């Protein structure tokens, strides 16, 4: 009984963390005489409540269940976050190298990434790129895109 309470306490904590307010569906998996058949019992909530549904197995382990639609949304959000994170890292790396024209350096970097993906026959969304190495290569091949302090002449007064 104490273990069951801890599972339900976990459900409450998780529900609060993910912003699931109100009715929570909790389902319990029960053994039957046939080891290939399990029985699902609704312990709280309803069969039509919001996702995720919480499932407590026969060993008191907590699982969640959600529709494939919800899983797809999570994956889409994860990919969007990954892309945004990559773009921010690339932007930071470019700015650290003091570009004369940020947009030109960005365009060259994106072309390099697309070319690398094509050469390696990979999806552009999953290619791994060392951004420092990439910007260093661009700087070496296109020095006119970056400010070079050696070229600045200080006029004595």
37-80, pLDDT tens digit by residue?
A: 999 999 988 998 888 999 999 999 999 999 999 999 999 999 99
DSSP symbol at 156: P
Q: What's the rounded Cα separation, in Å, for the pair 61 and 11?
A: 11
Domain match, 100 and 131 both: yes
pLDDT in tens, 15-37: 888 888 778 899 999 999 999 99
Q: Are residues 83 and 144 in the same domain?
A: yes
**What residues make up the domain containing 53?**
2-66
Report if residue 155 sits inside a domain: no
Q: With respect to residue 157, please indicate whether it lies within any of the assigned structural domains.
A: no
The pLDDT assigned to 2 comes to 46
Q: H-type helices in 54-101, by residue range? A: 68-96
| Rounded Cα distance, 109 and 94, in Å | 9
Instruction: Based on the fold, state whether residues 97 and 135 are members of the same structural domain.
Output: yes
Residue scoring higher pLDDT (130 or 8)? 130
Place of tokens 């290619």: 127
Give the integer Cα–Cα distance in Å for 152 and 15.
Answer: 59
What local confidence, expressed as pLDDT, does residue 113 receive?
92
Same domain, residue pair 77 and 49? no
Calculate Rg over the CA atoms of the chain: 27
Question: Are 27 and 46 found together in one domain?
Answer: yes
Which whole number is the average pLDDT over 122-137?
82
Check whether 126 has a pLDDT greater than 90: no
Helix or strand holding residue 39 (H, E): strand 38-44
pTM, entire model: 0.69
Are 13 and 50 contained in the same domain?
Answer: yes
Query: Domain boundary at 66, 96, 122, which?
Result: 66
Same-domain pairing of 99 and 142:
yes
Percent residues over pLDDT 90 in the chain: 62
Of 95-99, 116-120, 149-153, least confident by mean pLDDT is 149-153
Compute the C-alpha angle 112/117/121, nearest 5°.
Answer: 150
Last residue of some domain: 18, 48, 66?
66
Q: Give the Cα-Cα-Cα angle 40, 67, 7 (nearest 5 degrees).
A: 50
Size of the chain, expressed as the number of residues it contains:
157
Average pLDDT of span 141-153 = 84
In a domain, 102, yes or no: yes
Same domain, yes or no, for 58 and 130? no
- Predicted local confidence at residue 136, as pLDDT: 96
Question: Per the structure, how many domains does the chain have?
Answer: 2
Among the candidates 36, 66, 96, a domain finishes at 66
Same domain membership, residue 142 and residue 74: yes
8 — pLDDT class (breaks 50, 70, 90): confident
């Amino acid at each position: 009984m104490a273990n069951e309470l801890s599972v339900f306490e976990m459900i409450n904590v998780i529900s609060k963390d993910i912003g699931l307010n109100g009715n929570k569906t909790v389902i319990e998996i029960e053994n039957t005489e046939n080891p290939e058949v399990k029985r699902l019992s609704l312990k709280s909530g309803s069969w039509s409540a919001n996702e995720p549904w919480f499932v407590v197995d026969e060993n008191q382990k907590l699982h969640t269940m959600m529709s494939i639609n919800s899983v797809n949304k999570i994956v889409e959000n994860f990919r969007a976050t990954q892309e945004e994170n990559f773009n921010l890292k690339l932007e930071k790396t470019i700015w650290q190298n003091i570009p004369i024209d940020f947009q030109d350096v960005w365009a060259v970097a994106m072309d390099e990434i697309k070319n690398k993906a094509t050469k390696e026959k990979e999806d552009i969304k999953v290619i791994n790129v060392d951004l420092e190495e990439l910007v260093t290569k661009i700087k070496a091949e296109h020095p006119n895109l970056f400010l070079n302090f050696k070229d600045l002449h200080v006029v004595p007064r």
